[in-house]
Chains A and B, each alone.
Chain A
């Protein structure tokens, strides 16, 4: 079950971003896509539908939970919300991602100190 995003997002990147977005605010699938594209200044071109396998994985691991409801614009939507376990998982993922990023930066630019 590989994440088949066409970009070189490493496995787990999409889940991490979804969790972070949900941490700020519960949202449904469409809103999440909008949010991610906006926040990344359109640097990340994510296929809209590729969110859904990731969402299902998060649902299965009980890192988020989903509920049918009605949105502010009177649409029927399935809203996702992060769980406590999801929060913990997100903390871990972010810290390990930052460590990895620092390591890569050091290798690419040995003299320059990593920006935190």
Chain B
């Protein structure tokens, strides 16, 4: 530790040393003078005898330094000075790199939040969810859950949860909240302690509706109860039934679905009160997901085998209710593979593209750096001649590059942090409590710094070859490095790479836009315009199931009577909204109603008679329902054309024929509706059946109102009408296109992301081409001036000045286009049915690159054309 006081003494040491040396030389001088030399000669002789004073003094000083660290610090200071002297270059470089690193940081942070970060429960590595072996869904029935929980040997414990919405009355205004219904062992199995009060346990469950407890989430307690610690023990009403608040969940726990934030937790045995399914129905799969920790020492394969054997025995015991029952284990973060797979694919593709942007930025900066080094070849030559080592000079170059990249990385990271914070606070759909918690954490910062360093080393390495081969003699003699043909090629290659990357990005943006446009143009089977939706849940408002149909009719009549309303229909779920249910059907002559003889799995919509008219779904033949199709009349249905094709073989003559529902009921087809989209924008044609609501009642109620009135005014009028019917009824009104926003979210986000990346790639290309074109024009001004003086026309001047740049642009674009076509596999991850071979896309890309080239070379072209040879040749 004895170097610490050395630092303070160093100044004095250096002064002492200088003084000492001065005195030495003086003494020698005096002695030589005493021997008879003149003062002048004596001084010269003394200095010569001493040796290289500067070098010796520096060597003496070095004894007290850490030379490597000191010289690195000197390099840094020098680099800073150099960078400050060319602010344009520095700014351009930092901004370019900030954009690229910022983009990578954002993408990586999202990937980190959704894919890389483990769930915030203890021992998340052994925590899995059960998913069906076939298809990507995980829903089960409650009796099946109980059997799986009790009979399995691979898991410590299995928990189940479901999500419902409910009306909460806490003494103030009634509001709707999102409830995660969890099995009694939920908190214990996950290993979570309450922040305040208690949680419910397995021992609290004594049968249906036996545990009226609520555990608030921390966030909800904070926002709606203002951190009031006295909330424990308070009694509130859910769907008009009393529940007791017993505690608050841990601080950052928002359930196990990464992007979904429920408000409270309630024991799942209360589901009949809140969701209206019975606990004992084995065929009713309303339980959202089952999860658990693997027992220590048990592998996934063993656990799956065990679960499959339980599934097989359940199949045998309950043949009517169970289909094929196999399992796979997945992660619950993104609901298994349902969202997990597409999200993973999308993020990987996006990460690749962001990496390409970084590469393009490095190529851009590399060529800028090379140009700069070429300009400073004189300085480099001088330093080499004075005795600097080439390694030292290279270290200076790399220091500059790393400084720029660290600065750019810092700026990019800051901007990306701001963007990510905004993204985390954003709620894409007001209807659902979805949040993207993508705030950056230590891993993201680390990766950003690493990327910055690597890019710095990458583009700093570009002028290395040039520096290493500088011959000081040549340079000092002729004033600049000879324009060797080979040197140009490295820079040209970089530009071609940059442009190729940019055109790949532009190609992918175009593909995304085309894909989105194609999805939107499809025929949905209902009208999106001129329709308002009023969504309510009568069970939430406390209506018992037998009072529901009457209330529904009253609501329909009240809204129908409003001026400007053409028709009002009611349905229990929306096509292309969330929550459309499906049901299996058999042909009429099937006697054995086993799962193997199912002929179709059709979407089911329970509708009022006016629905088809209100929604704009065309009736191809037959009739719609009337209010006479009720419980006492024969069972009827309206089916779509695809249903008729699958069940009856063809669309014609479907009217009047019969089919069997899951429980064997015979239903007559009275009407044929047009095909449409029900589950997703890009699905294959699906069968669907519409059932009259009086014959298959539903408590979930969505009123579809067809009207040409202004939506705002109409919504207000609707709200007041419904309030007159029942003041305590929570109603949610929106236009018909809003629920589809959930489905369009994916493609829209993909298009936005790709569009942004394409724009960034475009900007990088413009700067790259501009840089090259401007540089080449400015270097060759003299040559161009001579050409003009010798009589070259405008076209020839342009060709000479910009020919190379345009050639490279064309080469890069073609390369990028080919790459984009070859990489359609990768693009398909991001955009459904990506077809880069679409002629629209190809034309678009060519036009876009041509436009970029035009923009970039405009200014240098003007400069080249405005050359006045007289002015040029006069000044040197």
Contact = CB atoms under 8 A, between A and B. Distances in A.
A78 interface: yes
A52 B21 contact: yes
A49 B23 contact: no
A30 interface: yes
Contacts of B57: 52
B338 interface: no
A44 to B, nearest CB: 14
A66 B60 CA distance: 15
A112 interface: no
Contacts, number: 61
8 contacts: A48-B28, A48-B50, A49-B52, A52-B21, A53-B59, A56-B17, A57-B63, A78-B19
Contacts of A88: none
A66 B57 CA distance: 17
Interface centre among A53, A55, A68 (most CB of B within 10 A): A53
A57 B59 CA distance: 10
B16 A48 contact: no
A1 B62 contact: yes
A32 to B, nearest CB: 10
B51 A49 contact: yes
A68 B17 CA distance: 11
B59 A75 contact: no
B53 interface: yes
A50 B51 contact: yes
Contacts of A78: 16, 19-20, 23
B56 interface: yes
Interface centre among A50, A52, A78 (most CB of B within 10 A): A52
Interface of B: 13, 16-17, 19-21, 23-24, 27-28, 49-53, 56-57, 59-64, 67
Given A47-B50, A78-B16, A52 B56 contact: yes
A68 B28 CA distance: 19
B56 A50 contact: yes
Interface string A33-69: 0000000000000011110110111011000001010
B27 A53 contact: no
A47 B47 CA distance: 11
Contact of A48 (B19, B51, B60): B51
A26 interface: no
A18 to B, nearest CB: 14
A57 to B, nearest CB: 5
Interface string A98-111: 00000000000000
Interface string A9-47: 000000000000000000011100000000000000001
A87 interface: no
A4 interface: yes
Contact of B56 (A1, A49, A60): A49
Nearest to B21: A52
A29 B59 contact: no
Nearest to B62: A1
A4 B59 CA distance: 9
B63 A1 contact: yes
A30 B17 contact: no
Contact of A60 (B23, B59, B64): B64
Contact of B24 (A4, A29, A66, A68): A29
Given A30-B24, A47-B50, A53-B63, 9 more contacts: A1-B59, A30-B27, A49-B50, A50-B51, A52-B17, A53-B62, A56-B63, A75-B23, A78-B23
Contact of B63 (A4, A29, A60, A68): A60
A52 B61 CA distance: 10
A47 B20 CA distance: 16
Contacts of A53: 56, 59-60, 62-63
B56 A75 contact: no
Contacts of A30: 23-24, 27-28
Leading 10 A-B pairs by shortest Cβ distance? A49-B51, A49-B56, A47-B51, A56-B63, A49-B50, A53-B59, A56-B60, A53-B60, A30-B27, A48-B50
B21 A49 contact: yes
A75 B513 CA distance: 89
Interface string A65-95: 0101000000111100000000000000000
B17 to A, nearest CB: 7
A52 B62 contact: no
Contacts of A76: 23
Contacts of B52: 49
A47 B48 CA distance: 9
A57 B67 CA distance: 14
Given A47-B50, A78-B20, A52 B27 contact: no
Contacts of A29: 20, 24
A47 B52 CA distance: 9
Contacts of B20: 28-29, 52, 78
A28 B60 CA distance: 16
A3 to B, nearest CB: 9
B123 to A, nearest CB: 56
A64 B739 CA distance: 87
Contacts of A1: 59, 62-63, 67
Nearest to B30: A75
A48 B63 contact: no
B56 A56 contact: no
